[in-house]
């Protein structure tokens, strides 16, 4: 007997090591809605079923590396801004050169890593 969509979804989610809450967040639905899918109380359209099952897959190593590089870049900029804010709040005078560097750093675009030809 073929398994239902709900059974397939639960198996895919568990195989990916995702909690119901994490998968719901990826799909931008509530955990209650995801529960309805998994228990076959609601059956999404065929296209939506494919989207839902695709959300259970882990990203490729290339995508994971790009995401990590973006996170690292954003975190570095946030750390620099937090340090600047602490300096300003402490009453220490910031030299014009330091203020210019901070301003320029904040305006720098997020650098994306180069990929090999044909990879996305």
Q: Is the pLDDT of residue 113 over 90?
A: no
User: Both 46 and 68 in a single domain?
Assistant: no
For residue 44, the enclosing domain spans 5-55
Number of domain units in the chain: 2
**What is the predicted pLDDT for the residue at 3?**
86
88 contact partners, CB below 8 Å, separation of at least 6: 94
Q: Is residue 41 part of a domain?
A: yes
105 contact partners, CB below 8 Å, separation of at least 6: 77, 80
User: Both 14 and 51 in a single domain?
Assistant: yes
Q: Is the pLDDT of residue 12 over 70?
A: yes
56 token code pair = 């259970």
State pLDDT tens for residues 13-53.
998 889 999 999 989 999 999 999 999 999 999 899 999 99
State pLDDT tens for residues 74-105.
999 999 999 888 888 787 666 777 777 777 77
Of the three residues 55, 70, 97, the one that is the final residue of a domain is: 55
User: Both 48 and 19 in a single domain?
Assistant: yes
Q: Helix crossing, 46-55 with 5-15: angle to 10°?
A: 20
């Amino acid at each position: 007997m073929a398994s239902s969509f709900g059974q397939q979804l639960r198996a895919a989610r568990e195989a990916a090591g995702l909690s119901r809450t994490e998968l719901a967040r990826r799909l931008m639905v509530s955990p209650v809605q995801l529960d309805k899918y998994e228990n076959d109380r609601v059956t999404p359209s065929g296209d939506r079923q494919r989207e839902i099952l695709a959300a259970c897959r882990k990203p490729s190593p290339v995508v994971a590396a790009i995401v990590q590089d973006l996170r690292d870049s954003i975190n570095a900029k946030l750390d620099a801004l937090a340090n600047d804010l602490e300096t300003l709040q402490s009453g220490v005078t910031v030299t014009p050169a330091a203020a210019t560097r901070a301003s320029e750093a904040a305006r720098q675009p997020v650098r994306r890593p180069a990929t090999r030809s044909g990879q996305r």
